[in-house]
Structure 1
Amino acid sequence: MEKQKRKLGLVPKLIIGIILGILLGQPFVPEVIARLVVTASSLFSLFLKFVIPLMILAYVTMGIADLSQGAGKLLLVTAGLAYASTLIAGSCSYLVSSTLFPSFMSADALEQIADTAGNSLSPYLTIAIEPILDTLAAVLLAFILGLCMSSMRGKQIGNSLYNGFHDFSAIIDKVLHVAIVPLLPLYICGTFVDMTRSGKTFVILGILWKVFLVVIIMHLICITVQFCIAGAVSHKNPLKLIRNQIPGCTTALGTQSSAATIPVNLQCAEADGVSSEIRNFVVPLCANIHMAGSMITITACATAVCLMNQIPISLATVVPFIATLGIAMIASPGAPGGSIMTALPFLYMIFGTELGDPEGPICAIMVALYITQDSFGTACNVSGDNAIGVIVDTIYKKWIKK
């Protein structure tokens, strides 16, 4: 009897991708090799961006359509939990940042960070591949189709459309398992090659490592609190839920994209015992509307920039900014740095009209600060997505599904 071959798991592959990315991004590695890796990663990124809206359309539509009862209620509950989590996370981030940051901020940090701008490696080849839908359009279309199929199937319409989307969802599943998930380590490797080669990560770590450390701790606390709440509601062990989330967090650290982490996060939700109809609905949806980790990072970075430039900032100015951004950032996590790019037009609410110019130097520093810490914010986002999934699944099984 032949011994079954042991396959290397996804998490070790992702860790190997990160290590290789850091090594290949070192100055002693020929630039041609680094650019080849970045080119391969860039091409995969284009393919990923094309597939993500199709993934959202397939999974969210089928997730809602499979809810025979209470689809509208569950949609409201999920959106409410996601928005409340984002608001609370951002407000807590400001309170912590405004308390701790003044003791270790330096005014000359801005100039040193600005020196790393424009150092990114460019790929040898780029191809213009436009997605069929943008992510927000995919989410809205999935809402319409899913809710209508859930309420009308077998009553006012037949099963043809449902069966068509069922087959479409199976095709997307095949694409994810054959192409997307196996190539994620390559994507992550290219991301770290570029970040290491440009020097952004190490420069900002060397200057603002205390700020960076505080933000990471806030993300870890946020993840712990979210899973403790989910565990209390579902009567599940929060430590086991956190352990199940490790592959999703590792993937998010490398991709810097909540949407790109959806395939792995669905596997984490399955390990948490979330039913298929709920996880296929909640995980892709929350990847586009739940951004607690991104809000923690953006609020902390904005507070740091204000302190470095002696710009007045208070809870009265931060809360309206958070409330607005919680809605404006919907469907922005499809690409690394998507949240901060969406936030740029609203930074005037914090910095004022003149300093809040999206093309100005202050906003450029905000982008640099955020991108360096975006990985951890994304990991916090996707972890919260599954915490919400556990809560919604419990509500569905106890009070809606009869």
Structure 2
Amino acid sequence: MNSVPADVPPAQDPGAAPRRRRLGLLPRIVIAIVLGVLLGLVMPEALARVFTTFNGLFSGFLGFLIPLIIVGLVTPAIGELGRGAGKMLAATAGIAYLSTVLCGLFALGLSLLLLPRMLDGSGSVALESPEDSAIAPYFALEIPPVFDVMTALVLSFCLGIGLTLVSKGALQESFVQLRTIVVRIIEAIIIPLLPLYIFGMFVGLTMNGQIWTVIGTFLTVILLVFAMTVVVLLAQYAVAGWAMGRNPLRMLWTMLPAYATALGTSSSAATIPVTTECTKRNGIPDAIADFVVPLCATIHLAGSTLKITTFAVAIMIVTGMPLDVGVLVGFVFLLGVVMIAAPGVPGGAIMAAAGVLSSLVGFGEAAVGLMIAAYIAIDSFGTATNVTGDGAIAAVMTKLSRGRVSGDLEAQHHPHVQGV
């Protein structure tokens, strides 16, 4: 392949029409949901079975891919966190994980307290896999995964920790290349086909008479999620204000440009320059801001964990699944680890979490599909919560460093950064 200098724009035919901007993932998901509901009211069963067949094939491929996604993303992420880490990186990673888990536990507790009452009149919905649906697929194809999800998680932890104990070499580079392959598959296959998958799901829900219960549940949970994100940000900046000796509300207001940018990009990585600048305006030393913000763009996903936990509980309530508190608490702690590996594509966090939802919580294909649709519908708000919280973590790290930040930070290169 011939290389082209980055500063040379590609040649363009003067008479050619300007290139159109592609429609983003969120608008495509919204269009798919609306069309699925409307066409599901009039679509003949023979045509609906085409989409049910596609959904069965897509679900099988996604199930095959999930363990590979976990190994390909989690292993190099852990390996990179440990390589040449130093005390600052270890402390930042620990605080980011604690923040993520506390947000998940807060969401879990409030969801268990409020959602059974809020969804009491919504009735029970039996979400069926494509093979068991009343609108049967024309054919089904089994695609068994290479290994199950828990095996993938344990393997990733063992290999990732092992990579921190050896010098960087071919094995580390191989896992970095595997991560690139996995992210390309997500970007080129999974994400583009998601709207069609969600369209087929909502067609089936409409034709089975379950759609209004699902939509009512979505709207109720979205309102609860928005309220919880406000509480989380206020709590994070109460701690940040204490750490810096500043007005927490003023610090939160200073982070507003980062929040707004994340709403537009749905990517923590794309928001890093704005987040870093806002963090420095809150009095954070340059060395700490330049280190903490790019790192937390990868490992601090408090808003995403909050959303996933809340929607998971809501779907369990609506579908009549048992709410085992012990299992759900374990899910939150494991989710905090899996979130480290979320790739830099819209919806990447829910892709990384899908395996834990199915293996630990017991979600079926249809429930995972609903989780994907619900998550992406408000993806940018979770990302905005994530990046705004990064500024609070930088304030805490300033407090902990007590002026001893110099050599350790300046000697390190920034770790590999992935968006959310």
TM over 0.5: yes
Aligned match for 2:156, one of 142, 164, 175: 142
Q: 1:21 aligns to what?
A: 36
Amino acid at match of 1:21: G
- Where does residue 220 of structure 1 map in the other structure? 226
The structure-2 alpha-carbon separation of the partners of 1:374 and 1:53, relative to structure 1 and needing over 3 Å to count, comes to: closer
CA-to-aligned-CA distance 1:276-299 (integer Å, 9 cap, x gap): 76555566x997xx4654346627
- How many matched pairs? 330
Separation in 1, partners of 2:187, 2:174: 20
In the alignment, is the contact (CA less than 8 A) between 2:99 and 2:300 conserved in 1?
no
Query: 2: CA distance between counterparts of 1:371 and 1:174?
Result: 21
Q: Which residue of 2 aligns with 1:349?
A: none
Task: After TM superposition, give the deviation of residue 19 of structure 1 in Å.
Answer: 2.4
- Tell me which residue corresponds to 1:254: none
Partner of 2:107: 89
Distance 1:91 1:34, change over 3 A: same
Distance in 1 between residues matched to 2:90 and 2:194, nearest whole Å = 34
Deviation of the 1:243 alpha carbon: 6.0
Q: Percent identity?
A: 22
Residue of structure 1 in register with 2:57 after alignment? 43
| Aligned positions of 1:98-137 closer than 5 A | 101=118, 110=123, 113=124, 120-137=134-151
Deviation (angstroms), 1:168: 1.5
Secondary structure (helix, strand or coil) at the match of 2:18 reads coil
Indicate the SS of the match to 1:66.
helix
Specify every segment of 5 or more residues in structure 1 that has no aligned partner in the other structure, as ranges.
Answer: 249-267, 306-317, 346-367
Aligned counterpart for 1:169 among listed residues 171, 174, 179: 179
CA shift at 1:218, angstroms? 0.8
**Does structure 2 conserve the Cα–Cα contact (< 8 Å) formed by 1:86 and 1:291?**
yes
Alignment of 1:169-208 (within 5 A): 169-203=179-213
TM-score of the superposed pair, with normalisation by structure 2 = 0.61
Tell me whether 168-177 or 236-245 shows the greater mean CA deviation: 236-245
Match of 2:66 among 37, 52, 56: 52
Q: Distance in 2 between matches of 1:373 and 1:55?
A: 18
Kindly provide the CA deviation profile for residues 7-63 of structure 1, in whole angstroms up to 9, marking residues without a partner as x.
32223322222223223322x211111110121122122222222322222222222
Instruction: Give the Cα–Cα distance (whole angstroms) in 2 for the partners of residues 167 and 337 of structure 1.
Output: 21
Among 237, 247, 257, which residue is 2:255 paired with? 237
Query: How far apart, in 2, do the equivalents of 1:133 and 1:76 lie?
Result: 30
Corresponding residue number in structure 2 for 1:4: 18
Structure 2 unaligned residues grouped into runs of 5+: 1-13, 241-250, 276-292, 339-349, 402-407, 411-420
**Alpha-carbon separation, structure 2, partners of 1:392 and 1:60:** 21
- In 1, Cα distance between equivalents of 2:389 and 2:57: 37
With over 3 angstroms needed to count, the CA separation of the structure-2 counterparts of 1:340 and 1:378, relative to structure 1, is farther
Structural mapping, 1:387-398, within 5 Å: 387-388=385-386, 391=389, 395=393
In structure 2, distance between residues paired with 1:382 and 1:142: 28
Cα drift, residue 6 of structure 1: 0.9
C-alpha RMSD of matched pairs (Å): 4.7
Normalising by structure 1, we get a TM-score of 0.63
**Separation (CA, whole Å) in 1 of partners of 2:367 and 2:59:** 22
* Deviation (angstroms), 1:203: 4.8
Measure, in 1, the Cα distance between the counterparts of 2:43 and 2:315: 35
Q: Distance in 2 between matches of 1:373 and 1:33?
A: 25
2-structure distance, mates of 1:291, 1:150: 30
**Native 8 Å contact 1:25 1:193 kept in 2:** yes
Alignment CA distance shift 1:298-1:76 (3 Å): same
Change (3 A) 1:387 1:13: same
In structure 2, relative to structure 1, the CA distance for the partners of 1:142 and 1:24 (3 Å cut) is: same
Whole-angstrom distance in 2 between the partners of 1:126 and 1:382: 35
